[in-house]
Amino acid sequence: MKYQSQAVSKLYFNAAIALFVGQIIFGVILGLQYVIGDFLFPYIPFNIARMVHTNLLIVWLLFGFMGGAYYLVPEESQRELHSVKLAKILFWVFFISGALIVLSYLLLPYQRLAELSGNAFLPTMGREFLEQPTIGKVGIVIVCLGFLYNIGMTVISGRKTVINVVLLTGLVGLALLFLFAFVNPENLVLDKYYWWWVVHLWVEGVWELILASLLAFVLIKTTGVDREVIDKWVYIIVAMALITGIIGTGHHYFFIGTPGYWLWLGSIFGALEPIPFFLMTLFAFNMVNKRRRIHANRVAVLWALGTGVMAFLGAGVWGFLHTLAPVNYYTHGTQITAAHGHMAFYGAYVMVVLCMISYAMPKLRGRVANSNKAQVVEMWSFWLMTISMVFITLFLTAAGIVQVYLQRMGDQPLPYMVVQDKLEFFYWLREAAGVVFLIGLIVYLCSFLIKGESDQHIDVSHKNPAINS
Amino acid sequence: MKELFTKSVSRNIYYGGSLFFILLFLVLTFDTHKRIPATDNRENLTEQVAHGKRLWEENNCVGCHTLLGEGAYFAPELANVYDRFGQSTDAIKAFIMSRPANGIPGRRSMPQFNFTDEELEALAQFLKYVNGIEAQNWPPNIQG
């Protein structure tokens, strides 16, 4: 850790990990509700548990991004953070309001929450991922603005690098696009149209900028590859992300009442959306291949490579599977979507945050890297979580294919609930894989308890004299 | 990479490309607004339907169901439930009313929301309005 103010990121990382645990517990509950339909009913019905699962995911990823930014920006800008105090205040505001929102989901009927929070004045609740009470959304905006001010002031008055400029652009985009969470016309088609401006333009747009810059930062630090080379990659990756991703929004405008030309635009640009993710895979492997040193923190490098591969598989390949309109006609809103959603979020955003934490946390705790033993345990958690996520995705994909066939393609299409009963086998397998994921997460937590220093870096630059300048 | 792109070329592709596609997206959004009156069934968007939409939101129906394919995948698609229930708002209301408060042992069941008659009618009318949105002949069949 080069700057004292970077220490504030530890708070954010700890919160991120704690909420991650909550998210996965609810994931396991949801998986069980798929097979034991009345599990916890009527106390925690499926919709409530799902809301907790997805909202915790979003909030903990935001904590991860913010923590990542607070760690990375001072080092890139070569100066202390504008205000550590503001970062701490905003942390507690965000953490307490986030906790209150989740608790209110669990303790109050949702309809009652809508009433108490005055949803009637500005109705924004009850739309997927944007279930937070309006006042909660206002809180999120305030936290984001304060955060952006803090980061922005640091970037502006410090050294400007491609990494922190791209990161800042991504964060500004994140905050601006969230404002569309307040747009909720009575016309359902328009409601859906703008809902995607938050959801799609986040995860398939500006979040990719944040992803690319976090990944690039860890790669610069762990490989020692020249910044010039990394900068070019970052520009090309984020250029492709926005060039494909913005019009790629069209792959959500197929069947919601929007004009037919979106079938073409969404299919073409959707099919190109894997490109930035593929470049990220190439980027990560290329940089590690060209490394000048074997960094003592080998597990952070593993997470970086893992992000490259899994983001491409989950977001790229599984996205491509159903992005073409003639395919999506049958798969839209089935378990295929669920399969894609799981691996894409894990592979791209969960992994990059864990990568950042893996790199930064040892430094925040006063060492270059964790002890060998701690790293090996963390690697176990990497493989347990990643492989179980691959299986969750495969089982959901199998369920989705059967669902599509029985419900939408056969000669005698069967009713939804009849088909769901036939998918029970796959849902049990998915639940088993989910339990393994939870075990992997527990192993991950355990890796933090193992103390000790790391070995030193090994300089390998002499073996590879042809490194690009 | 090195041969193909210099850093400044890469940067220009990023800024230029992004700006171009943002503008294109705004133009397409404008055009979409002009065209959707033909498909979005706005002529049937009454106050009652708007009330139904609010109820749909404030009871988090999308936490289990999909509507035009978006939402959760735990319960049936409802964009065409009006057709599926024989174009009967009464059948929709009867189904919502009949849900057992404590669920069905071992099975998925919709919660009992204790809606008033007026609320039930508004919800049913909302689902009828959604059924009238022209969404490229989606869903593929009556089962949703």
**Measured between CB atoms, does A128 come within 8 Å of chain B?**
yes
Question: What pLDDT is recorded for position A468?
Answer: 40
Nearest to A80 by CA among A163, A170, A144, A159: A159
Note which residues in 97-126 of chain A have CB less than 8 A from chain B.
110-111, 114-115, 119-120, 123, 125-126
The number of helices, as runs of H, and strands, as runs of E, in chain A is: 19, 2
Contact state of B39 with A258 under an 8 Å Cβ cutoff = yes
Helix (H, G, I), strand (E, B) or coil at A41: coil
Q: Are A86 and B36 in contact (CB under 8 A)?
A: no
SS (H, E, C) chain B: CCCCCCHHHHHHHHHHHHHHHHHHHHHHHHHHHHHHHHCCCHHHCCHHHHHHHHHHHHCCHHHCCEECCEECCCCCECCCHHHHCCCCHHHHHHHHHCCCCCCECCECCCCCCCCCHHHHHHHHHHHHHHHCCCCCCCCCCCCC
- Report the C-alpha gap between A108 and A117 in whole angstroms: 12
Count Cβ atoms below 10 Å from residue A208 Cβ, excluding itself: 29
The tokens 């980027």 sit on which residue? Answer: A283
Nearest to B92 by CA among B106, B105, B110: B110
Question: What pLDDT is recorded for position A466?
Answer: 45
Q: Write out chain A's pLDDT in tens, 469 residues.
A: 899 999 999 999 999 999 999 999 999 999 999 999 999 999 999 999 999 999 999 999 999 999 999 999 999 999 999 999 999 999 999 999 999 999 999 999 999 999 999 999 999 999 999 999 999 999 999 999 999 999 999 999 999 999 999 999 999 999 999 999 999 999 999 999 999 999 999 999 999 999 999 999 999 999 999 999 999 999 999 999 999 999 999 999 999 999 999 999 999 999 999 999 999 999 999 999 999 999 999 999 999 999 999 999 999 999 999 999 999 999 999 999 999 999 999 999 999 999 999 999 999 999 999 999 999 999 999 999 999 999 999 999 999 999 999 999 978 999 999 999 999 999 999 999 999 999 999 999 999 999 877 777 787 765 554 444 3
Integer Rg of chain A from CA: 22
- Report the C-alpha gap between A28 and A261 in whole angstroms: 40
Label residue B108 by pLDDT band (50, 70, 90).
very high
B110-119: list long-range contacts, CB under 8 Å, 24+ apart. Answer: B110/B64, B110/B75, B111/A41, B111/A42, B111/A45, B112/A42, B113/A111, B113/B59, B115/B55, B119/B51, B119/B55
First-to-last C-alpha distance (Å) of chain A? 26
The tokens 């983001």 sit on which residue? Answer: A311
* B-interface mutation test, from A55, A246, A253, most B Cβ less than 10 A away: A246
First-to-last C-alpha distance (Å) of chain B? 47
Question: What pLDDT is recorded for position A411?
Answer: 85
- Report the C-alpha gap between B134 and B39 in whole angstroms: 5
Q: What are the boundaries of each domain within chain A?
A: 1-160, 221-451
Question: What pLDDT is recorded for position B3?
Answer: 64
**Measured between CB atoms, does A410 come within 8 Å of chain B?**
no
Topology classification of domain A221-451: Cytochrome C Oxidase; Chain A (1.20.210)
Question: What pLDDT is recorded for position A462?
Answer: 57
Nearest to A417 by CA among A426, A409, A431, A406: A406
Please return the burial class of A86, using the count of CB atoms within 10 Å of its CB with bins 0-12, 13-18 and 19+. Answer: middle
Contact state of A259 with B32 under an 8 Å Cβ cutoff = yes
Question: What pLDDT is recorded for position A453?
Answer: 76
Helix (H, G, I), strand (E, B) or coil at A149: helix
* B-interface mutation test, from A189, A330, A396, A467, most B Cβ less than 10 A away: A189
Helix (H) or strand (E) holding A48: helix A46-77
Question: What pLDDT is recorded for position A469?
Answer: 33
Segment B71-98, tens digit of pLDDT = 999 999 999 999 999 999 999 999 999 9
ipTM above 0.90, yes or no: yes
Nearest to A346 by CA among A219, A441, A248: A441
CB-based contacts of A340: which residues, under 8 Å, 6+ apart?
Answer: A314, A318, A319, A321, A322, A393
Separation in Å, CA B135 to CA A256, B39, B50 = 5, 7, 20
Chain B CB contacts of A263 below 8 Å? 136
Note which residues in 6-45 of chain B have CB less than 8 A from chain A.
6-7, 10-11, 13-14, 17-18, 21-22, 24-25, 28-29, 31-33, 35-36, 39-42, 45
Separation in Å, CA A454 to CA A14, A356, B30, B133 = 22, 18, 57, 62
**Measured between CB atoms, does A45 come within 8 Å of chain B?**
yes
Count Cβ atoms below 10 Å from residue A257 Cβ, excluding itself: 27
Segment A193-249, tens digit of pLDDT = 999 999 999 999 999 999 999 999 999 999 999 999 999 999 999 999 999 999 999
Note which residues in 293-332 of chain A have CB less than 8 A from chain B.
329-330, 332
